[in-house]
């Protein structure tokens, strides 16, 4: 898969471990930065990765900040994005299966790198489910479309 990844200064170390991990699994990774620990606003990276994923240029995205929350909130303002913060693998699997999350987010200050790898594996190995789950995701998209008017 083609995976877009982005982070703020709080998550540089984790991102630098996760890129080679994802590549070792055979994925192509597009890195939107940041790659330094100079303080930088997380919304920029949430927006960049969100736009890239929403445009279809990547299959999914990975966002990391201190908690995973701020950067996912920003990404979720991009129409078509469903970014989900996870701190363990079961939720990571379910957000793909039930919520069709197209971005997975987590916090370097919250989870260790091995848990982050387990979260990524659970998310990437899961398949979005059809039926009632797809119908509920469509309801989310309908809400988004209604409020864009």
Which 69-108 positions form the footprint of ligand RB5 (CB under 6 A)?
A: 69-70
Cβ atoms of 75 and 102 closer than 8 Å: no
The CB-side HSE value for 9 (13 A sphere, CA atoms) comes to 6
Q: Give the three-state DSSP class for 7.
A: strand
Cβ atoms of 29 and 23 closer than 8 Å: yes
Residue among 9, 27, 60, 65 flagged as catalytic: 65
Stretch near ligand RB5 under the rule CB under 6 A, chosen from 49-57, 60-68, 79-87, 134-142? 60-68
Closest CA to 15 of 45, 56, 47, 54: 45
Residue among 98, 100, 133, 147 flagged as catalytic: 98
Which is closer to ligand RB5, CB of 6 or CB of 70?
A: 70
| Annotated catalytic residue 98 | yes
Alpha-carbon span 71 to 42, nearest angstrom: 5
Which 34-53 positions form the footprint of ligand RB5 (CB under 6 A)?
A: 42
Q: Rule CB under 6 A: is residue 8 a binding residue for ligand RB5?
A: yes
Q: How many residues bind ligand RB5 (CB under 6 A)?
A: 8
Stretch near ligand RB5 under the rule CB under 6 A, chosen from 45-53, 62-70, 79-87, 118-126? 62-70
Q: Render 18-42 in DSSP notation, one character per residue.
A: HHHHHHHTT-EEEE----S-S---H
Q: Rule CB under 6 A: is residue 116 a binding residue for ligand RB5?
A: no
Alpha-carbon span 47 to 41, nearest angstrom: 11
Which is closer to ligand RB5, CB of 4 or CB of 63?
A: 63
Residues taking part in catalysis:
65, 98
Binding residues for ligand RB5 (CB under 6 A): 8, 10, 42, 65-67, 69-70
């Amino acid at each position: 898969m083609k995976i877009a990844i982005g982070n703020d200064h709080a998550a540089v170390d984790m991102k630098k471990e996760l890129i080679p991990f994802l590549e070792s699994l055979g994925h192509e990774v597009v890195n939107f930065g940041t790659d330094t620990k100079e303080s930088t606003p997380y919304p920029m990276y949430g927006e960049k990765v969100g736009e890239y994923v929403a445009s279809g240029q990547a299959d999914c995205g990975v966002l990391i900040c201190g908690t995973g929350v701020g950067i996912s909130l920003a990404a979720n303002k991009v129409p078509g994005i469903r970014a989900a913060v996870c701190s363990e693998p079961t939720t990571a699997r379910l957000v793909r299966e039930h919520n069709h999350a197209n971005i997975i987010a987590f916090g370097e200050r919250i989870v260790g790198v091995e848990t982050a790898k387990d979260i990524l594996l659970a998310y990437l190995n899961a398949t979005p489910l059809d039926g009632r789950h797809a119908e509920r995701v469509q309801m989310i998209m309908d809400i988004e479309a209604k409020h864009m008017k």
